[in-house]
Amino acid sequence: MKPRILMITPYLPCHSQAGGQTRSFYLIKHLSKNNLITLVCFTRDKTGLNELKKYCQKVIIVKRGKTWDLKKIIRTGFSLYPFLVSNYLNKNLQKKIKQELNDNKYDLIHSECFYLMPNIPKTKIPTILVDQTIEYAVYQHFVESLSGINSLLKPLLWIDVLKLKFWETYYWKNTHTIAAVSKEDQQLMAKLSGRNDIKLVNNGVSESYFDYKKRIRKTKYPSILFGVSNMKWMQNKEAAQLLLDEIWPKIKKQLPQTKLFIIGRHAPQAFANYKNKNIIIKEADENGKKHDPQFYYQQSWILLAPIKSGGGSRTKFFEAMASKLPIITTKHGMEGISAQNNIHAIVCQYDKLTQESIKLLKNKKRRQKIGSFAHDLTKKEYSWAKSANQLNQIYKQITKPKTCVTK
Are 89 and 65 part of one and the same domain? Answer: yes
Are 23 and 85 part of one and the same domain? Answer: yes
- What percent of the chain has pLDDT above 90? 78
Are 170 and 259 part of one and the same domain? Answer: no
| The pLDDT of residue 315 is above 80 | yes
**Amino acid letter for position 147:** S
| The pLDDT of residue 407 is above 70 | no
Are 285 and 199 part of one and the same domain? Answer: no
Are 277 and 395 part of one and the same domain? Answer: no
Tell me whether residue 404 is in a domain: no
Are 178 and 222 part of one and the same domain? Answer: no
Question: What's the confidence (pLDDT) of residue 173?
Answer: 98
Tell me whether residue 406 is in a domain: no
Tell me whether residue 184 is in a domain: yes
Place 339 in a pLDDT band, splitting at 50, 70 and 90: very high
CA–CA separation, 122 and 142 (whole Å)? 33
Q: Please name the residue ranges forming H helices in 175-314.
A: 183-193, 208-211, 234-242, 248-254, 267-271, 293-299
| The pLDDT of residue 406 is above 50 | no
Tell me whether residue 407 is in a domain: no
Question: What's the confidence (pLDDT) of residue 288?
Answer: 67
| The pLDDT of residue 13 is above 80 | yes
The pLDDT of 315-343, averaged and rounded, is 93
| The pLDDT of residue 104 is above 90 | yes
CA–CA separation, 362 and 44 (whole Å)? 44
Place 76 in a pLDDT band, splitting at 50, 70 and 90: confident
- What percent of the chain has pLDDT above 70? 96
Are 24 and 130 part of one and the same domain? Answer: yes
Are 310 and 261 part of one and the same domain? Answer: yes
CA–CA separation, 163 and 118 (whole Å)? 14
| The pLDDT of residue 237 is above 70 | yes
Place 355 in a pLDDT band, splitting at 50, 70 and 90: very high
Strands of the sheet with 199-200, listed across from one edge? 58-63, 36-43, 4-9, 108-111, 127-131, 177-180, 199-200
Are 349 and 371 part of one and the same domain? Answer: yes
Nearest to 193 by CA among 206, 174, 212: 174
Question: What's the confidence (pLDDT) of residue 405?
Answer: 45
CA–CA separation, 325 and 333 (whole Å)? 15
Place 11 in a pLDDT band, splitting at 50, 70 and 90: very high
Are 220 and 352 part of one and the same domain? Answer: yes
**Containing domain of residue 258, as a range?**
208-382
Are 331 and 263 part of one and the same domain? Answer: yes
Structural domain tally of the chain? 2
Tell me whether residue 405 is in a domain: no
| The pLDDT of residue 117 is above 90 | yes
Which segment of 33-42, 284-293, 388-397 scores lowest on mean pLDDT? 284-293
CA–CA separation, 140 and 157 (whole Å)? 9
Question: What's the confidence (pLDDT) of residue 287?
Answer: 67
Q: Where residue 126 sits, what CATH number does that domain have?
A: 3.40.50.2000
Place 78 in a pLDDT band, splitting at 50, 70 and 90: confident
Tell me whether residue 10 is in a domain: yes
Instruction: Output the average pLDDT for the chain.
Output: 92
Tell me whether residue 308 is in a domain: yes
Residues 254-301: tens digit of each pLDDT: 999 999 999 988 999 999 999 999 999 999 887 667 788 889 999 999
| The pLDDT of residue 221 is above 80 | yes
